[in-house]
Amino acid sequence: MAQSGAKSVGAPSSREPFPGCGSYEKFSRSIPALAEAQQVPPRLLFVDDEESIRITMRRILEMHGFDVTIAGSVPEALAAIQSHEFEVLLADLNVGQPGDGFTIVSAMRRTQPRAATLILTGYPAFDTALEAIRRQVDAYVVKPADLEHLLGTIRGLLSARSPHLPIRAERVPRMIAQRRDEIARRWVSALRQHEAVPHAGPDDCPMLDWLISTLENNELIVETAVEHGRTRRAQKCTLAELIRECHLLRRELLQLVEENLLAIKISFVVADLAALNAAIDAMLAAAVEGYLEEPAKVSSPDQVAQLPGNERQPH
């Protein structure tokens, strides 16, 4: 169970059960009840192993239009899920044991996939957030929770209820390949914004396609990058523009990874990012070589080098 100080509610008293809401009596009048707008109260299962919190939250949620069932343990919650139908599951992250809330979420997803699922936790740790996404949690609320925000989140999920589509975690190379067109558009936009290679277009990104192939196949075909350097020279681009082009591609790729971190296989992220940076560095070096001179002996298209320090891994 989360530390007692992290709990957002307690027994009805003069204390503030939620930050900024005042006393229990004052809070009970602070938000219009859902019951006035709904004939059939949404059925909600609330799971917490502290009795005072179960009692308080039940009263508060019922005042705001919910038909509330409470459970104090994983077995009680599983029995309720098997015997009753719910629109919402609101569970503490640590019910008895750390992470037990995810067990309840998984059971609800299997039995009642259309129900909205929310986790309450006093530990907004990154690994916990990842696990919440993996187990198909619809919302993740950090304690002490603002009750207006919590109720608003529940109402939003109810108003747009649909079967939850789980996020499938991918390796970085696969994610980049799947988002090739998006990356190309962002890269070209960045090039134009920085006045680097202004004539580049989203359909003219050979180096992006080369990078995707390199990462997925773990093979570095040097000649493609060398030829790109020659092409940029023929297009009257400066060497600085060629270097900036590669730097901007790296920036957009790393930004994409950051934006989609919860959908990436974290156990591989360090190795994948190392391989990504190694490939971009090799690409830049070969492109500069092609830009500066016409080598008498360049790597042929079928001369392949293994990326350093990156053994082939399954996707």
**Is the pLDDT confidence value at 36 over 50?**
no
The mean per-residue pLDDT over the stretch 255-260 comes to 78
Query: For the segment 87-104, what is each residue's pLDDT rounded down to a tens digit?
Result: 999 998 888 787 778 889
With b for 16 or more beta-carbon neighbours within 10 A and e for fewer, the 137-168 pattern comes to bbbbbbbbbbbeebbebbbebbeeeeebeeee
Using pLDDT thresholds of 50, 70 and 90, give the confidence band for residue 35. very low
Would you state the pLDDT for residue 204? 63
% of the chain beyond a pLDDT of 70: 69
β-pairing, 219-221 with 304-306? antiparallel
**Is the pLDDT confidence value at 258 over 80?**
no
236 Rama class: left (phi>0) / alpha (psi -120 to 50) / beta: left
DSSP for 115-137? Answer: SEEEEEES---HHHHHHHHHTT-
Same fold, 4-159 and 172-306: no
The mean per-residue pLDDT over the stretch 306-313 comes to 50
Would you state the pLDDT for residue 58? 93
DSSP code, position 179: T
Would you state the pLDDT for residue 163? 59
CA 103 to each of CA 52, 78, 159: distance values in angstroms, whole numbers, following the listed order: 23, 9, 26
Contact 100, 109 (CB under 8 A): no
Would you state the pLDDT for residue 142? 72
Would you state the pLDDT for residue 208? 85
* CATH homologous superfamily for the domain 4-159: Response regulator (3.40.50.2300)
The end-to-end CA distance of the chain, in Å, is: 36
Domain 172-306 top-level CATH class:
mainly alpha
Contact 35, 44 (CB under 8 A): no
How many whole angstroms separate alpha carbon 288 and alpha carbon 278?
15
**Is the pLDDT confidence value at 291 over 50?**
yes
Would you state the pLDDT for residue 277? 93
Query: For the segment 227-238, what is each residue's pLDDT rounded down to a tens digit?
Result: 889 988 888 888
DSSP code, position 304: E
Which helix (DSSP H) or strand (DSSP E) does residue 291 occupy? helix 269-292
Using pLDDT thresholds of 50, 70 and 90, give the confidence band for residue 303. very low
The mean per-residue pLDDT over the stretch 229-249 comes to 89
294 versus 122: the higher-pLDDT residue is 122
**Amino acid type, 132:** A
Query: For the segment 135-169, what is each residue's pLDDT rounded down to a tens digit?
Result: 567 877 777 777 888 898 899 888 876 655 555 67
Domain residue ranges in the chain: 4-159, 172-306
